[in-house]
Amino acid sequence: MKYQDIISSMTIEEKAAFLSGKGEWETRNFDKLGIPSIFCSDGPHGIRKQAGAGDHLGLNASLPATCFPTAATIANSWNEELGETLGETLGEEAMAEGVNVLLGPGLNIKRSPLCGRNFEYFSEDPYLAGKMAASYVRGIQSKGVYACPKHFAVNSQELRRMAMNSVVDERTLREIYLTGFEIAVKEGKAKTIMSAYNEVNGVYANENKHLLKDILRDEWGFDGIVITDWGASNDHALGVAAGSNLEMPNPGLDSARELIAAVESGKISIEDVDARVDELLDAVITLSVKAKGRPEDFDKNAHHAVARRAATESTILLKNEDKILPLKSGAKVAIIGDFAFVPRYQGAGSSLVNPTKVETVAELAGSYDLQIVGMSRGYSRNGKEDAATKKEALDLAARADIVLFFFGLNEDSESEGMDRTHMRIPQNQIELLQELGQVNANLVGVISAGSAIEMPWHHYFKALLHCYLNGQAGAGAVLDILTGKANPSGKLSETIPRRLEDTPAYRYYPSRQRTSEYRESLYVGYRYYDTADIPVLYPFGFGLSYTSFEYSDISVNEDGVSFTIKNTGDVDGAEVAQMYVGLPNGKVFRPEKELKGFAKVFLKAGEIKTVTIPFDDKTFRYFNVKTNKWEIEDGKYQIMVGSSSANILLTGDVLKGETTEVMPYVKEELGAYYSGKIENVSDAEFEKLLGRPIPDGKWSGELSSNDAICQMYYAKSGLARLAYNILTKKKKKADESGVPDLNILFIYNMPFRAMAKMTAGAVSMEMVDGIVKLVNGHFFGGLGTIIGGFIRNSKKNKAYEAKIKG
Ligand code: BGC
């Protein structure tokens, strides 16, 4: 052990207390042992360091920081160099604000467009997500701050996120849900990782030895620290034994006592505790040294400029009929839509940044060479009809040559803590759009939305820009693109399906029971649409430019693929070339094609470049559930190069020999998976895929400390059901107001045990047991346990504090 000398002078009480947080964001310091404390902060696209008292979801404002585009946006740039620059900029701000661990990037897979947190995640594809995450990690860590990729793993649903079991077969787990993390760890060299709230195949992510030990530490060689998501620890002792270091945020000393009791009873060994303490000491000491003499400020303007570049490179041009864009100089335009005045540039929840400034289209448009006939908000944000504003907008539209319409998802549509129930934008925006279409045929739409939306109205527009959530400098980026000052080069990092019903997990998401069954297996996003032949509106990898590119001269060898791209238009531009790999008629089922490489290439008008995309250890592999290893099937692999998943322009092939003769599946038993038609997978077939019975996820009997508060609907106690009704009413009221109440959402979805895990020692697990008894209708027994537990907890806390003082 690296810090044997410190460890041997620590008491068991000190060791156990060290392995959980001191407050909302800090680790415990032990001054007499020379152990400092380190500070963690959200979040993925800007620093959310709270100046005053810390709270979980940002009731207290945080210090001003640059609000960069969110991960869903940046992934559309397909530019790792940009990701690294962003990471460096984030790292600099973290350092300036005294933050040692930056809680991001988030890279969970967009299993369904409905996940409320998709705006914080990169992609539906693990390779793209992993590459982008690794670039952030490299950038952040180059500045002396540790990055914390999250949420490890299989955390693709917000509803009851802390009380849910993701049931997924081993191959899907490896190929879809872990590959991104593998890249972030191996290529990004991430030094911390955040364990997710959910269970994975019946074991909480934070105590899942298969995830944390076998895969993360043993296979991938992770040598950093595992931090629990806030309140994600269930059994701290099992977590420590599995390889989790730090329980956050502030469970008080009850958790430390649990750890000591586990060592004393032989449930876990002292060696496990020492190993976790050693790893955590390494992080705490290294980070404190790196932060010595740190700058206490950062260049706000320079960082704003980085945010603007990032927004520009991530904007996607979805359509452009009659070359209506870029706007000609002096074009006579009307600017319509509330988003032009109050931009929607970030999402809600723990990632909410207090921006250093926010630019708006309404303020900046005047400085461009445009003849603006007027600006109108057009619709109101609360979804209600506003006749006067609508009329104002329609009058303006009638007087303009071109209408620029700014619209999309409102604040209440997507947020941490809730999933969407549909993919539509508010009806009042659609109604205005239809009327605008009656008075002006030249509509240009500018969408702000952090996730995929249904666009049955897209034919109203001649041109459409999708900006996702583009950060505080987004307005300038949009105007640069509209006017041709910048050439769009973003490409979709997720598919835009035609309708929710077409999405692969439609019948399985979100889980209504304790278990979320990943029946669609590998068929996530384009992997499904391509294989099952489901038409989509805009495919994965798609995006237009103001110039055109020609691909030619493919050559494939053992090491990779080379080809040339020519910019055949008359403006400079960048193209994202994508390499997909497939094995037609393979013996092991697989999607028709999978992304295995990409390159963003900048080309001057008329320029030609040779592009090489190398193969790597992921190009041909699949996870064999019989050999329990990555294997390669023999055959003639198709190497497909294209400008999107649906537009393959060059193909070649390469022969590979097999690494095993052991076949993982019997084809006849897995018809749905071999055809890709996974919309209605039967229990029998899913069981075959899982290789074990499907766990029973039904809610029944008494509630336990791991059930979510919203499950009090089933409570035997009338008092608990009353509390449930009050909470539900509050939630409904907040939902209707248009601004989700994050704390209510958090409480609604959290399990009872979180009361002990997040209250700085005020509540112990014994008291939680009392509360659960009460909820289950054992009023007096429950009350007795709560009161007795309270007295015992206070006494034990005092005694423990005395032991670790100094
Ligand atoms: C979120 C994490 C976040 C943490 C701290 C949790 O609720 O899931 O992503 O880093 O809170 O704010």
For the segment 259-301, what is each residue's pLDDT rounded down to a tens digit? 999 999 999 999 999 999 999 999 999 999 999 999 999 999 9
Which of 109-113, 397-401, 695-699 bottoms out in mean pLDDT, i.e. has the lowest?
695-699
Read off the amino acid at residue 187.
E
Question: How far, in Å, CA of 459 to CA of 466, rounded?
Answer: 15
Average pLDDT over residues 157-184: 95
Residue with the two structure tokens 């052991």: 662
Task: Answer whether 193 contacts ligand 1 (Cβ < 6 A).
Answer: no
Q: Are 177 and 208 in contact (CB under 8 A)?
A: no
Is the pLDDT score of 801 beyond 90?
yes
Name the pairing type of β-strands 608-614 and 560-567: antiparallel
pLDDT score of 207 more than 80: yes
- The gap from C-alpha 365 to its chain's centroid, in whole angstroms, comes to 32
pLDDT score for 60:
66
Cα(159) to ligand 1 centroid in Å equals 15
Q: Which atom of ligand 1 is nearest to the CA of 350?
A: 12
Residue 382: its pLDDT value, please? Answer: 82
Task: State what percent of residues in the chain have pLDDT above 90.
Answer: 88
Q: Give the Å distance between the CA of 265 and the centre of ligand 1.
A: 33
In order of 122, 182, 615, the CA distances from 131 in angstroms are 10, 10, 14
CB atoms within 10 A of CB 55: 13
What are the φ/ψ torsions at residue 292 (nearest 5 degrees)? -65, 135
3-state secondary structure 670-709: HHHHHHCCCCCCCHHHHHHHHCCCCCCCCCCCCCCCCCEH
Q: How many other CB atoms are there within 10 angstroms of residue 233's CB atom?
A: 30
- Residue 350, ligand 1, Cβ within 6 A: yes
pLDDT score recorded for residue 108: 98
- For β-strands 165-167 and 199-200, DSSP reports them as parallel
4-290 and 544-672: identical CATH topology: no
CA of 19 to the centre of ligand 1 (A): 18
Least confident of 104-118, 336-350, 717-731: 717-731
Pocket test for ligand 1, best of 25, 350, 748 (most atoms within 8 A of CB): 350
Per residue in 344-401, pLDDT tens? 999 988 899 999 999 999 999 999 999 999 999 999 988 888 899 999 999 999 999 9
Cβ of 502 less than 6 Å from ligand 1: no
Residue 524 burial by CB count (10 A; 0-12/13-18/19+): exposed, middle or buried? buried
Indicate if ligand 1 lies below 6 Å from the C-beta of 42: yes
The residue contributing the CA closest to ligand 1 atom 3 is: 350
Supply the residues annotated as catalytic. 229
Q: Over the range 406-423, which residues count as b (16 or more CB within 10 Å of their CB) and which as e? A: bbbbbebbbbbbbbbeeb
Q: Please check whether residue 96 is in contact with residue 298, taking contact to mean a CB–CB distance below 8 angstroms.
A: yes
Whether the CB of 150 sits within 6 Å of ligand 1: yes
Q: Give 587-633 pLDDT, tens digit per residue.
A: 999 999 999 999 999 999 999 999 999 999 999 999 999 999 999 99
The CB-side HSE value for 239 (13 A sphere, CA atoms) comes to: 32
Amino acid at 394: L
Residue pair 177/528 in contact by the 8 Å Cβ criterion: no
Handedness of CA 642, 643, 645, 649 (dihedral sign): negative
Mutate which of 193, 230, 749, 750 for ligand 1 pocket (most atoms within 8 A of beta carbon): 230
Return the CATH number of the domain spanning residue range 4-290: 3.20.20.300
The pLDDT assigned to 59 comes to 57
Task: For residues 525-543, give the mean pLDDT.
Answer: 98
Q: What is the mean pLDDT of residues 518-547?
A: 98
Decide: 195 in ligand 1 pocket, CB within 6 A. Answer: no
287 pocket-lining for ligand 1 (C-beta < 6 Å): no
| Contact of 120 with 106, CB cutoff 8 Å | yes
Q: Ligand 1, atom 6: nearest CA belongs to which residue?
A: 230
pTM over 0.95: yes
Q: Output the CA 745–ligand 1 centroid distance in Å.
A: 13
* Tokens 């397909």, located at residue: 78
In DSSP terms, 598 is beta-bridged to 578
Nearest to 470 by CA among 49, 44, 67: 67
d(CA 628, CA 172): 13
SS3 state of residue 165: strand
- How distant, in Å, are the alpha carbons of 10, 62, 436, 730 from that of 754? 29, 24, 50, 20
Buried b (16+ CB within 10 A) or exposed e, 253-287: bbbbbbbbebbeeeebeeebbbbbbbbbbbbbbbb
In this structure, CATH architecture of domain 544-672: Sandwich (2.60)
- Ligand 1 centre distance from Cα of residue 229 (Å): 6
Give the tens place of pLDDT for each residue, 468-498: 999 999 999 999 999 999 999 999 999 999 9
Euclidean distance between CA atoms 34 and 426, whole angstroms: 56
Distance 298 CA to ligand 1 centre (A): 25
Atom of ligand 1 nearest to the CA of 58: 12
pLDDT of residue 384: 83
Q: Is the CB of 248 under 6 A from ligand 1?
A: no
3-state secondary structure of 738: coil
- Give the Å distances, CA to CA, from 307 to 85, 334, 406, 512: 10, 27, 20, 39
Q: Decide whether any atom of ligand 1 lies within 6 Å of the 415 Cβ.
A: no
pLDDT confidence band for 411 (50 / 70 / 90): confident
Residue 29 phi/psi, 5-degree rounding, is -100, 150
Query: Which atom number of ligand 1 is nearest to the Cα of residue 148?
Result: 10
Would you give the distance in Å from CA 640 to the centre of its chain?
A: 28
DSSP assignment string, 331-346: EEEEEE-GGGTS---S
- In the DSSP assignment, the letter for residue 629 is E
Structure-block tokens of residue 641: 């190069």
3-class SS of residue 406 = strand
| Residue 57 pLDDT > 80 | no
* Rounded Cα distance, 32 and 366, in Å: 61
Nearest CA to ligand 1 atom 8: 229
Q: How far apart, in Å, are the Cα atoms of 707 and each of 228, 514, 702, 750?
A: 19, 9, 10, 8
Q: Measured between alpha carbons, how far is 361 from 477 in angstroms, rounded to an integer?
A: 10
Give one DSSP letter per residue of 651-670, joined into a string. EEEEEE--S-------GGGG
Question: CA nearest 417: which of 349, 511, 347, 513?
Answer: 349
The residue-averaged pLDDT of 693-721 equals 88
What is the pLDDT at residue 735?
A: 76
Per the listing, tokens 């939902």 go with 735
Instruction: Please give the Cα distance from 139 to 54 (Å, whole number).
Output: 26
Nearest-CA residue for atom 11 of ligand 1: 230
C-alpha to C-alpha distance for 288 and 275, rounded to whole angstroms: 20
Of the two residues 146 and 514, the one the predictor is more confident about is 146
pLDDT bracket for residue 116 (50, 70, 90): very high
Identify any residues that bridge with 613 across adjacent strands, giving them in sequence order: 561
Residue 351, SS3 per DSSP: coil
Ligand 1 center from residue 117 Cα (angstroms): 11
User: Is 632 within 8 Å of 658 (Cβ atoms)?
Assistant: yes
| The listed CATH number (2.40.170.20, 3.40.50.1700, 3.30.230.10, 3.90.320.10) that belongs to domain 307-490 | 3.40.50.1700
Helix (H, G, I), strand (E, B) or coil at 275: helix
Decide if 673 contacts 500 (C-beta within 8 A).
no
Whether the CB-CB separation of 618 and 631 falls below 8 Å is answered with no
CA count, 13 A, side-chain hemisphere, 669: 13
Cα-Cα end-to-end distance for the chain = 25
Q: How far apart are CA 574 and CA 547, in angstroms?
A: 9
68, burial (CB in 10 Å: exposed 0-12, middle 13-18, buried 19+): buried
Q: Is the CB of 240 under 6 A from ligand 1?
A: no
Residues present in the chain in total: 806
Radius of gyration of the chain (CA): 27
Which residue ranges make up each domain of the chain?
Answer: 4-290, 307-490, 544-672, 709-805
What is d(CA 524, CA 25) in angstroms, rounded to the nearest whole number? Answer: 35
C-alpha 153 – ligand 1 centre gap (Å): 14
Which ligand 1 atom is nearest residue 104's CA? 10
Mean pLDDT of all residues in 712-730: 90
- Which of 39, 42, 162 should be mutated for ligand 1, with most atoms under 8 A from CB? 42
Which alpha helices (H) appear in 426-535, and where do they start and end? 427-439, 474-482, 526-531
The candidate with the shortest Cα–Cα distance to 235, out of 201, 270, 264, 261, is: 261
State in Å: Cα 540 to ligand 1 middle.
28
